[in-house]
Amino acid sequence: MNKKIYRNIAAVTAIFAITLSIMLATNYFQVRKATPLQTEVAETLKELNDMNSNNPQLQEQIRELDLLSRRAYFVSESHLKTGIYLLLAMIGVLVLSLRFYFHDVKNIPDKDIDPVDDWLVKSKSRNYVLWGSGVLATAALLLAFLSSPYYTSLKSKKAAGSDDSALTADSYPVEEELTTDDEYAMAGIVRDETAGDAAAETQTPAEESAATEASGAETAQAAEAAAEGPEIPKVTHNGFRGNNSNGQSSARNIPASWNLASGTNIAWKASIPKPGYNSPAISGRNVFLSGADASGRELYCYDLFTGELKWTLSASGIPGSPSAMPKVNEDTGLAASSVATNGQQVCAIFATGDIICADMDGNKLWAKNVGVPDNHYGYASSLLIYGSEVIIQYDNDSNGKLMALNLSNGNVRWSKDRSEKATWSSPTIAYVDRKPQLVVMGNPAITAYNPDNGDIIWKVDCMSGEVGASPCANNGRIFGANEYVNLVAINGVDGSVLWESNDYLPEVSSPVASRDWVYVATSYGVLACYNAETGELVAEQDLGCQFYSSPMIVDGKLFIFSVEGTLYMFSNNGQLTLLGSINTGENTFATPAFTDGMMVVRSQNGLYCVSSNS
Amino acid sequence: MKKDKDNEKLVDGSPIKRRDFFRKLGTVMAGAGVAAVGAGGAAKVKGNRKADLYWQIDHEKCIQCGRCETSCVMPVSAVRCMHANKVCGYCDLCGGYYRTNAKELNTAAENMLCPTGAISRKFVEEPYFEYTIDEALCNGCGKCVKGCSSFGNGSLYLQVRQELCLNCNECSIAKVCPSGAISRVSYESAYKFKDHA
Amino acid sequence: MKKLLTSAGLLLGAGPLARAVNRFPRPDFESGYQYPEYSYAVPNEMLWDIIDVSVLLILLGIVTWALFKKRTRGPILAVSVVSVGYFGFFRGGCVCSIGSIQNIALAFVDPSYSLPIAVFLFFIIPIVFAFLFGRVFCAGVCPFGAVQDLVNVKNFRISRAVSGALSVIPWIYLAFALLYALTRTRFLICRFDPFIGIFRLGGDIGVISFGIVLLLMSIFTGRPFCRFLCPYGAILNVVSRASIFKVKITPKPCISCDLCHDSCPVDAIKAPYGNRTGETPTEGVKRIVIYMAVLPVLMLAGALILRWSSPDLARANSEVRLYEMVTEYEASFSDVMEPEVEAFYSQGRNLAELEASKDEVLKSFRLYSTLAGILIGLVVGLKLLEMSLKRGRKEYEIDYGHCVGCAKCFDYCPQNKILAKNE
């Protein structure tokens, strides 16, 4: 009789325990997976709210969701706790009733499964041990062999051997080409772009939908372009003075002769709504630049092939943005800083300290105010995009900083205080031993930072005065110059000064370096060429003009615009042979942007594109 | 009886039987081994006050990766946020209290950083606010710590609450801590306070 | 040169300095605001140590008394319940004797490691008891054995050939646990402790599931964890074979009824055996001589295999893993930085120093994995030897290495029944 009761209790508790444990397990996995406090939906909504403030409906939604998720979290937590106690009690009862049920059953197995002969058992067991350990040992040996350096080298050799011979023939010259640091830097740009793609893929799910939309639009656009328009050039010009802000471009076939007045080899001309001294940037089919006046600050995107103004994004409604414009010099303006892009996002900063970031379709991703710069001429440092962060050289008279913001959400990745006074110089990325250094010039030092975390790699006190030019780098050497001080060459490995010279010094225009030569353009019209290794002045040309725009080394030639609007082209061989000059008649302060077969120039009158295809 | 005698051969005529001899030898050897290990171990033992018994986070090394929240063996981590009032700037715009880009400084859900609502604040005097952590709600995610150390004085920091910690033989958070910030410490330094230094 | 030195200094200082920030000054309160006072109590570990060790001693005493004096299972069952409740659910299972092996081993090789007294006592007391009385610790004081014993309802027999071969596993587990503990990589026994998650009502879901599977198995067969996994059981096995006092099924002569053999959940009672093999004595001797000769070969093979595998085994070490991560990062400069790599740079460490410490780890891995290989080879060889020994038995005998002293056989023996009736 009792036995029956125990059996029934056991059956009931067993059913209960099983259902309860299944419920608990599903609850556990749901809670673990959903992490109620960090739902994608809530995060997306919050980010949306960051972008466009004063949307009470959205805020209401966030509040509701937040309440729900918190309740879910705490409720599921307490449920899990009580559930587990309940389950334990159930199992206790189950085991107890089972024990009572089997209480009077003596443990007598039906029959012995082993042979009666003990010796046979032992022999069998011995065999099992032998075989088992043999199998284990072989497995261990195999694993050790598979991961041994000998095998991996063998495998890679085999893979290389089995490759198509044409392919290896193709790939070898590339490897040979990539021997110098500057060429590595170029390769680095390509890598940056692919890394950017990867970053876009690994973005938070909240942004993923936006990103896929954007990329979808991009591919559609690309398909469209492939169908009807010319091929989109691959060479980018990601910001001030090109990729890495280093004054070099791998663009080819820049037209040697053109005429702005007659329109020969001019693809298009466009006007720019608001003024600015910043330089254009090119990525894919887009040309980016910014403009600002007292009434507003805007980021523009033009079509590279047609010159059509594709979109305008206004930097307005940013919390912390000053209502009154900071006092700026007329020569600087409110939009002296050039924009930066990586082909996924584009960022622009203004003299008010407002920074905005948009995708390629002009949708605002984020915007913030990093603080109104305390700068007596006006903030002028250009942005620089490195990987998935945008770097801001925020040198000013009261609280100088160097900041790296996350491109996808504008959060500060790292920030380093700088004791520098206000400067108008822009950061650059230098590759030393194939590793990137973020080189920043200010008063009183040129400093190299680790772009990943902002740690200082080296610092050289060698500047003073009002630093307007930006540093440049090539072949592991970093060059910086400022008027009334020095042109300094620094070894990027340890920060030791290689040489100094002060024959010709720039005021606004930044120097540029090739592997062997360093070029300096002064504001009084002298272009000078120094030997990069020794610092010896090897050539000089007095052109009787003014240089504010920075020289660029493109396709083995040196391109530089004078303020008066003449483009000079020189040989890059240490002799400064004038290859040609083109007078446009339009005052030019900005540095032109280059891509294959094309050059986009911002003059005081507007924007135009030089192209051999037109 | 005769059979028994056959099995129990004598060792070199001594009165001890062979199996007994081996057994005694084994006992002596095992005893010696146990005594050796015991003595050796006893020599290494340190008093409880000196020995490093408690797991704790070195806040100087902590990079607020968020693994404390998820890696503890407890359902809710034994790591909680602590607040060093004497380090705090009592700011209105607190990087540990508000999300970055918070539009308005109020307690609306879209502006708050703490996912469990464990941080509360009290107005002290213009322009200062006192921040308090409700450790019953805190789950040790370290979001506020990250916010405070990147925008503020770093007065918020993560610590292992010793009365919650199970004192595992091997802390499962320490094993996944990317900066190796968790180690065993002695009784005297069971907490690494920021404001007691 | 001076500049070089200053830049080096900056690099070194960058890590710790960066964190000591004071962006906002401490406010000057005018309203007489007082800073709140907090007090954080640190639990009195000393008191808990004393309680834990006393409970351990009392429980061991009760089991010993029940086995040797009282000869009944009742108190052992009670001890099991207390042990599961106290050591298991209440104290959360840490520190346990099984895990303490690692701490003891570490204390022997690492002078910087401080061995807490409770850990030492938890390690040595059960061993001393095993040396005196056999595995009384396993009987019901160990919460792991106790919980398996408590859920055990009906026993199905496992082939003794299989279980004999499987009993090598605890030694292999022990060898690896020691290897990883001595290289300060991790405590394997603690990581893969199947029951601790159940006692703590939380933890790694995979390991808890493994524990549940083991518990389900132990409903139908006695103590799978103790028999086929527990490394501390392996040590106690050796010690208790040589124990001074040995438990007996019955003080009266055996009547060879076979009942006790059936009752044993861990198959530690061996039936009488006439030792009539088809082999000639010389064949048997020859086999033993061969295995004796093979023993060093096995040890050598184990040593070599594990030495070769040591770079792979070392990848579980955080320092080695960090080195891999950092070199991978520096080769690719990926935009996503693992927190480990981020921490590496923010602490101002450099690759050369990391490489040196990685090499140090690899070196110790080479040494200890060689030793672990020797241990495994030795255990396999000894097992083979043990399996080649022929020994007759006239009556039912306890295998003292495997007997966990659960006292189940006492109830089955008819001789004990008579004894009880006579009293």
- Beta-sheet strand order (sheet of A552-554): A248-249, A552-554, A557-561, A566-571, A578-583
Question: Which residue has better confidence, C89 or A75?
Answer: C89
Which residues contact residue A4 at a Cβ distance below 8 angstroms, ignoring those fewer than 6 apart?
none
The 3-state DSSP class for residue A318 equals: coil
Taking an 8 Å cut-off on Cβ atoms, the answer to whether A144 and C312 are in contact is: yes
Q: Is A571 helix (H, G, I), strand (E, B) or coil?
A: strand
Determine the Cα–Cα distance for residues A333 and A329; give it in Å rounded to an integer: 6
| Cα(A210)–Cα(A363) distance, integer angstroms | 10
Residue contact A140–C201, C-beta within 8 A: no
Query: Do residues B102 and B162 share a domain?
Result: yes
**Chain A neighbors of B101, CB-CB under 8 A:** 50, 319, 366, 368, 410
Closest CA to A244 of A178, A199, A191: A191
pLDDT of residue A165: 39
Q: Does position C123 have pLDDT exceeding 90, yes or no?
A: yes
pTM of the model: 0.64
- Position A221 scores a pLDDT of 47
Which chains would you list as touching B if contact means 3+ CB atom pairs under 8 Å?
Answer: A, C
Which residue has better confidence, B152 or A441?
Answer: A441
CA distance A283 to A286: 5
**SS3 (DSSP) at A612:** coil
List beta partners, residue A406. A389
Upper half-sphere CA count for residue A405 (Cβ side, 13 Å): 28
* Widest pairwise Cα distance in chain C: 102
Nearest residue on chain A to B74, alpha-carbon basis: A81
Q: Which two tokens stand for residue A411?
A: 């959060």
Same domain as B36, residue B66 = no
Whose tokens are 């090598």? That residue is C168
**CA-based nearest distance C85→chain B, Å:** 16
Instruction: Tell whether B158 and B179 lie within a shared domain.
Output: yes
**pLDDT of A9 strictly over 60:** yes
Bigger pLDDT: C315 vs A150: C315
Distances (CA, A) of A577 to A25, A532, A541, A550, A584: 78, 18, 9, 18, 21
Q: How far is CA A129 from the centre of its chain?
A: 58
CA distance A23 to A257: 78
C-alpha angle A147-A152-A154 in degrees, rounded to nearest 5: 135
A319 to B101: CB separation less than 8 angstroms, yes or no: yes
Is there a contact between C114 and B52 if contact means CB atoms under 8 Å apart? yes
Interface test with C, best of A126, A135, A385, A446 (most C CBs within 10 A): A126
Domain presence at residue B28: yes
pLDDT in the model for residue A35: 60
The residue of chain A nearest to residue C346, with distances taken between CA atoms, is: A453
Go through A568-579 and write b for each residue having 16 or more CB atoms within 10 A of its CB, e for each that does not.
bbbebebebeee
Interface probe, candidates B71, B99, B110, chain A, greatest A C-beta count within 10 A: B110
Tokens of C312: 């792979």
pLDDT at residue A568 greater than cutoff 80: yes
CB C381 within 8 A of CB C298: yes
* Predicted confidence band of residue A368 (pLDDT cuts 50, 70, 90): confident
Interatomic CA distance for residues B16 and B9, integer angstroms: 9
Q: What SS3 class is residue A287?
A: strand
Distances (CA, A) of A343 to A233, A315, A371, C246: 12, 20, 27, 80
Instruction: List pLDDT tens digits, range C135-159.
Output: 999 999 999 999 999 988 878 888 8
Tell me how far apart the alpha carbons of residues A491 and A431 are, in angstroms, rounded to a whole number: 12
- CB neighbours of A206 closer than 8 A, spacing ≥ 6? A40, A43, A44, A47
Give C-chain residues touching A450 at CB under 8 angstroms.
Answer: 345
Residue C59, phi then psi, degrees to nearest 5 = -65, -45
Surface-to-core class of residue A130, CB atoms within 10 Å of its CB (0-12 exposed, 13-18 middle, 19+ buried): middle
CA distance C407 to C401: 15
Q: What is the pLDDT of residue C347?
A: 79
Instruction: Indicate whether A222 pLDDT > 80.
Output: no
Helices B18-44 and C117-133: crossing angle in degrees, nearest 10, is 170
Assign C414 a pLDDT band (cuts: 50, 70, 90).
Answer: confident
What is the number of CB-based contacts under 8 A between chain A and chain C? 155
Same domain, B104 and B146: yes
Amino acid at A553: I
Q: Are residues B77 and B153 in the same domain?
A: yes
Structural domain contains residue B195: no
Is B193 inside a domain boundary? no
pLDDT in tens, A267-320: 899 999 999 999 999 998 999 999 998 888 999 999 998 899 999 998 888 877
| pLDDT reading at C370 higher than 90 | yes
DSSP states along A182-244: HHHHHHHHHHHHHHHHHHHHTS-HHHHHHHHHHHHHHHHHHHHHHHHSPPPPS--B-STTTGG
Phi, psi values for residue C56, rounded to 5°: -60, -50
Q: Give the per-residue pLDDT at A230.
A: 66
| Stretch A462-478: mean pLDDT | 89
pLDDT-derived band at A180, boundaries 50, 70, 90:
very low
- Is B191 domain-assigned? no
State chain A's mean pLDDT as an integer: 81
> Looking at the partner chain, which of C42, C128, C343 has a beta carbon nearest the beta carbon of B190?
C42
Whether residue B27 sits in one domain with residue B77 = no
Q: Strands B45-46 and C115-116, how do they pair?
A: parallel
Across A108-117, A139-148, C1-10, C229-238, which has the greatest mean pLDDT? C229-238
Q: pLDDT tens digits, residue range A497-542?
A: 999 998 899 989 999 998 889 999 998 889 999 999 899 999 988 8
Domain boundaries, chain C: 45-251+399-422, 281-387
Q: How much is the pLDDT for B154?
A: 86
Same domain, B65 and B92: yes
| Paired tokens of B17 | 């039987």
Flag whether B121 is in a domain.
yes
Determine contact: C50 vs chain B, CB below 8 A: no
* Cis peptide preceding A255, ω within 30 of 0: no
Q: Residue A278 has what pLDDT?
A: 92
If one counts the domains in chain B, the total is: 2
- C-alpha distance from residue C12 to each of A397, A430, C350 (Å): 28, 22, 10
- At B119-171, the pLDDT tens digits run 999 888 888 899 999 988 898 989 999 888 887 888 999 999 998 888 888 89
Report CB contact under 8 Å: C275, A95.
no
Quote the pLDDT of residue C121. Answer: 93
Cβ–Cβ < 8 Å for C208, C106: no
How many C-beta atoms lie closer than 10 Å to residue A8's C-beta? 12
Same domain, B15 and B63: no
Assess whether pLDDT exceeds 60 at residue B1: no
User: Tokens for A249?
Assistant: 């471009």
Residue C211: predicted pLDDT = 92
- The shortest CB-CB distance from C202 to any of B75, B90, B187 is to B75
Residue-number span of the structural domain to which B105 is assigned: 54-185
Q: Which of A322, A314, A425 is nearest to A371 (CA)?
A: A322
* pLDDT tens string C378-410: 999 999 998 888 777 888 889 999 999 999 888
Percentage of chain A lying above the pLDDT 70 cut: 82
When the pLDDT of each residue in chain C is averaged and rounded to a whole number, the result is: 86
pLDDT for C7: 33
The residue among A384, A389, A315 whose CA lies nearest residue A352 is A315
> pLDDT tens for residues C209-263?
899 999 989 988 889 999 999 999 999 999 999 999 999 888 888 888 888 888 8
